[in-house]
Structure 1
Amino acid sequence: MAEGQIIKALSGFYYVLSEGNVFQCRGRGVFRKQKVTPLVGDRVVFTATSETEGYILDIRERQNELIRPPVANVEQAILVFSAVSPDFSAKLLDRFLVLIESKEIAPVIVISKMDLLDGEGKETIARYVHDYRRIGYEVIETSAVTRGGLDELATLLYGRISVFAGQSGVGKSSLLNALCPDLQLKTGDISTHLGRGKHTTRHVELLEVAGGLVADTPGFSALEFDEIELDELPNYFPEFRAYGEGCKFRGCLHIAEPKCAVREAAAAGDIAPYRYDHYLSFVAEMKERKPRY
């Protein structure tokens, strides 16, 4: 038996990297009986049946697990959002951040296509960059065309397992190609009719980029909060945690409670108003979801 890490899952096969070699493996039937699905990023025990093939026997305990995209043991999430085409969406970014915060994965915000901005657009993005950095998030402004920000991004990727995630068409594949031209990942144009990107990545795969492993994942534009309880949501807004200690009531949800320090901070502008608005929207959404049994 040997140990390795799944770097690709495709058509029922799992490609396991072990000591520099890749084995095309099937999962044993026990996984189906236990309703356990091996994920890209899983550390596994396998037996080799030849120099290139084998069977996965066991999955080591996971550090974390994402459902969309389906990947495990991620050390950091590179959340790619374009400055334009499609336009930057702070609300969608905040949805991603809540999910990543809930998984205790370090987020890195990457704003792509900075070369396409005009003067007014640069000012708008600069305000968002300032706000998110003030919260404590790492924010990198990039361009696959001018290569701006790529050295900074490469430094963060080195020696880590990262997931690239974001809305379709924001330029994830373009950035990865700029960092590692040998990848030659397919890129797609933006549909001007729908305002959405064409899906260009069809499966999850760990790619060697800048001395680290990167999961290039299918683009998607919606996230659900199915795994998050309402009373947990304030914990996933870091700036809320700092002010929340000053709330009158323990377990304050920062909605309508008296003497709520978070609401006071939002009203004073110490918390970005749009972040608080997004929080209220997420609360309303979670209250309307069907109960789980």
Structure 2
Amino acid sequence: MAKGRIIKALSGFYYVDYNGKVFRCRGRGVFRKRKITPLVGDSVEFEESGEQEGYITAIDDRKNELVRPPIANVDQAIVLSSAKEPNLSLNLLDKFLVMVESKHIQPILFFTKMDLLEKSEAQSLQSKLQYYQDIGYTIRFLSKEDQDLVEQVSSFLEQRISVFAGQSGVGKTSLLNALIPGLELETNEISESLGRGKHTTRHVELIPFQNGLIADTPGFSALDFAELELESLPNCFPEFVERRDTCKFRGCMHIKEPGCAVKTAVEHKEILAERYENYLHFIEEIKQRKPRY
């Protein structure tokens, strides 16, 4: 039985890399019966059924799994946000970070299009976003004018499975094209009427790079918390986790409880107020979601 990794899923077929040779495979009916969908990134066993054709017969246990984008076994998430066009949304950034943290995936934050800002605007934005570095995230500010742009990004990708994701129009596809000459993924201009980019990537695909794999994924403009339990949300904020043992009550949700170390830190401006407000919004969003049956 051959064993490989799914590197692309498209139109009901799963493209499995096996020692550098790609087999176009179908999934066995047993997966449908068990409501299991093979994902890009899965390590699978398959049977050959013809010239570079086959059937997936087994899927190894996953160390993690994302829904948007649909991919498994990711080492790190390169989260791209633009400084302008579309304007930076900390709410969207924090929402994606929650999703990544809930899956125990390491996030790295890239802020693109810094060249579109005036010097004072860039300095102000960098000062504000220093907070994310202070709480433990790796961040980089990128400009298309950077002569070493490819080198800056490449250093993070060696021997890792990395998912590139971000709001549509932030420059994700352009960056991938710069990293991999000849890839020539389609890019579109920002829609003036919508204020955001058009979706140009239609499927998830793993692309070999630097002895690792990077994923081009469909852009997104919204996320939900369908899989996240309310009690788990505070664990997705590292600055909250750092203070939870000093809260008065075990299991503090950092909302109205007395003796809450997180609320005290917000009052003392040790926690970014906007990020705490996003946390409260996420709580309400989880509370208001439709029950799952």
Task: Calculate the TM-score normalised by the size of structure 1.
Answer: 0.97
Q: Distance in 2 between matches of 1:35 and 1:203?
A: 21
Question: Cα deviation per residue 1:233-274 (whole Å; 9 max; x = unaligned)?
Answer: 111000011122111111111111111110000010111111
Residue 210 (structure 1) shift: 3.3
Which consecutive unaligned segments of at least 5 residues does structure 1 have? none
The match for 2:32 is: 32
Question: Cα deviation per residue 1:29-60 (whole Å; 9 max; x = unaligned)?
Answer: 11122221111001000011234111111111
Residue 20 (structure 1) shift: 1.0
SS at match of 1:277: helix
**Letter of the structure 1 residue corresponding to residue 198 of structure 2:** K
The match for 2:202 is: 202
Question: Cα deviation per residue 1:196-227 (whole Å; 9 max; x = unaligned)?
Answer: 11011011100123332111100011111111
Does the CA contact (< 8 Å) of 1:168 and 1:198 recur in 2? yes
The match for 1:131 is: 131
Q: Distance in 2 between matches of 1:113 and 1:38?
A: 35
1:111-126 aligned at under 5 Å gives the runs 111-126=111-126
Q: Distance in 2 between matches of 1:187 and 1:263?
A: 43
Residue 129 (structure 1) shift: 2.8
Q: Distance in 1 between matches of 2:96 and 2:145?
A: 26
Does the CA contact (< 8 Å) of 1:143 and 1:175 recur in 2? no
Distance verdict in 2 for CA 1:144–1:27, change over 3 Å = farther
1:180-195 aligned at under 5 Å gives the runs 180-195=180-195
Residue 120 (structure 1) shift: 3.0
The alignment covers a number of residue pairs equal to 293
Question: Which contiguous aligned blocks of 4+ residues in structure 1 show a shift greater than 4 angstroms?
Answer: none
Residue 145 (structure 1) shift: 4.4
The match for 1:46 is: 46
The match for 2:174 is: 174
The match for 1:155 is: 155
1:1-293 aligned at under 5 Å gives the runs 1-293=1-293
Q: Distance in 2 between matches of 1:130 and 1:230?
A: 28
Which consecutive unaligned segments of at least 5 residues does structure 2 have? none
Question: Cα deviation per residue 1:32-90 (whole Å; 9 max; x = unaligned)?
Answer: 22221111001000011234111111111111111111101111001010111001111
Q: Distance in 1 between matches of 2:48 and 2:141?
A: 44
Task: Calculate the TM-score normalised by the size of structure 2.
Answer: 0.97
Does the CA contact (< 8 Å) of 1:77 and 1:105 recur in 2? yes
Identity of aligned residues (%): 57
Q: Distance in 2 between matches of 1:270 and 1:249?
A: 20
Does the CA contact (< 8 Å) of 1:234 and 1:253 recur in 2? yes
**Letter of the structure 1 residue corresponding to residue 287 of structure 2:** K
Distance verdict in 2 for CA 1:174–1:210, change over 3 Å = farther
